[in-house]
Structure 1
Amino acid sequence: MKAKPRVKICCIASLEEAQAAISAGASALGLVSAMPSGPGVIEEDVIAEIARRVPPPIGTFLLTSETSAEAIIAQQRRCGTNTLQLCDYVDASVYRELRRELPGIALVQVIHVTGPESIEVARAAAEHVHALLLDSGDTTLPVKLLGGTGRVHDWTVSRKIRESVKVPLFLAGGLKADNVAEAVAAVEPFGLDLCSSVRTQGQLDVIKLEIFFAALAS
């Protein structure tokens, strides 16, 4: 019997939301710093407070739109998370600098699945990071869309990416209780990442969390 995917709840806005997500069964939390667009952005001092208070087994993901090593390193040191989620694409030299300057900090590269061309992008990034996260954004738009779309992308492409890389893979983009079983069967990801489907009027909804985890367990 295959293990159920880990679950990361993104767009955590407060310590109370962090505690609710963990109580529901989340293995990781997404903490969104400044972005060109999308939901869930909070101040860095709030991110730092949540990261300090969350128990060590839980992944604290700093979502960053920065693309220079210097800016990303400085931001992680201010926020103190144990994981960096790179929401935009960066040069290979940036990965090397991050590994050198931030030993022990996990690197997760977001791959925006726009079509089959995303497979090669994922393969290249996988050589440098600890995990990939497949989402439904688009970095080619005038205002980059780096996540939080609530849209499902082509899971057949996601499956091909999973089969062609050796690092763990998180699946994001429009996941909810009524499609999570199909998503897991189609992609077989290591983890799932969700935000809008477990919120009501922007607030984390414990009932929707319970429904999602029940659907995942069934």
Structure 2
Amino acid sequence: MCASVKICGLSDPRHVDAAVTAGARYLGFVFFPKSPRNVSVGHAAELMADVPVGVAKVALTVNADDVLLDRIVSETVVDMLQLHGAESPERVVEVKARYGLPVMKAIGIAGPDDVGQIELFAGVADQLLIDAKAPRGADLPGGNGISFDWRLVQRKYWPCPWMLAGGLTPDNVAEAIRLTGAKQVDVSSGVESAPGIKDDRLIAAFCAAAQAAA
């Protein structure tokens, strides 16, 4: 079976089309003002409108309050909420109950001590995004183009599906999949020509490499 790909941080309809054409199974839209990939709720609604059935539209938020989540859920056709901040397991449960949508929780990994965080969320989230932990003082919790030691999650299995992220590119995604056994991968900066600017050719190359590796 081919690895499922998530192209995150989309903000241009041309790149949405490129991701769908390349076979991405998930499209990520960022609602975080500090990010160069940030989109407004209205713009995201336009971007999501023509995404075909079967491709999941994921709203990435960082420590979002209910006011923002209410707007996203009521004004777009989002399929999944991605919590990419310091949200607790209790907050994950709360968000799931409030909106009735699947929740993906991002967990930052820098070393062995961080791996235990995965267990805390594996029983409450619908999916996990296992990402490289942001450097101290970084403005962004993800999308920094850095990776972690993939051996820390090598052939690991948890109660819910998980997705590998952090510094993935068309050149290294096949190795990452082979080493970790990941069945899903996420990319943002690794398919950009500049921060926040996606590249159609890199999107296609990433999807092709991930699918061939699996």
- TM-score under structure 1 length normalisation: 0.87
For 1:28 and 1:4, the matched residues in 2 are separated by 14
Secondary structure of the 1:47 match is helix
For 2:170 and 2:43, the matched residues in 1 are separated by 29
Q: Which stretch has the larger CA shift, 66-75 or 150-159?
A: 66-75
Instruction: Please point out which of 181, 191, 202 is paired with 1:208.
Output: 202
2:136 aligns with 141
Secondary structure of the 1:215 match is helix
The answer as to 2:153 corresponding to 1:155 is no
Instruction: Please point out which of 32, 35, 52 is paired with 2:49.
Output: 52
Question: Structure 1 residues 65 and 79 mapped into 2: Cα distance closer, same or farther (>3 Å)?
Answer: farther
The code of the aligned residue for 1:179 comes to: N
The question of whether the paired residues in 2 share the 8 Å contact of 1:39 and 1:148 is answered with no
The code of the aligned residue for 1:59 comes to: A
The answer as to 2:124 corresponding to 1:128 is yes
Question: Structure 1 residues 178 and 76 mapped into 2: Cα distance closer, same or farther (>3 Å)?
Answer: same
For 1:75 and 1:65, the matched residues in 2 are separated by 13
1:96 aligns with 93
CA deviation map 1:177-206 (0-9, x unaligned): 221121001111121111222222343222
CA deviation map 1:67-114 (0-9, x unaligned): 5456534443333311111001212332222222212x1100001012
Residue segments in structure 1 that go unaligned for 5+ positions in a row: none
Q: Which stretch has the larger CA shift, 143-152 or 63-72?
A: 63-72
Instruction: Please point out which of 137, 152, 173 is paired with 1:180.
Output: 173
Instruction: Please point out which of 188, 192, 209 is paired with 1:199.
Output: 192
The question of whether the paired residues in 1 share the 8 Å contact of 2:24 and 2:207 is answered with no
Secondary structure of the 1:18 match is helix
Residue segments in structure 2 that go unaligned for 5+ positions in a row: none
- TM-score under structure 2 length normalisation: 0.88
Secondary structure of the 1:60 match is strand
For 1:210 and 1:26, the matched residues in 2 are separated by 9
The question of whether the paired residues in 1 share the 8 Å contact of 2:56 and 2:79 is answered with yes
The question of whether the paired residues in 2 share the 8 Å contact of 1:29 and 1:60 is answered with yes
For 1:159 and 1:68, the matched residues in 2 are separated by 34
For 1:122 and 1:57, the matched residues in 2 are separated by 27
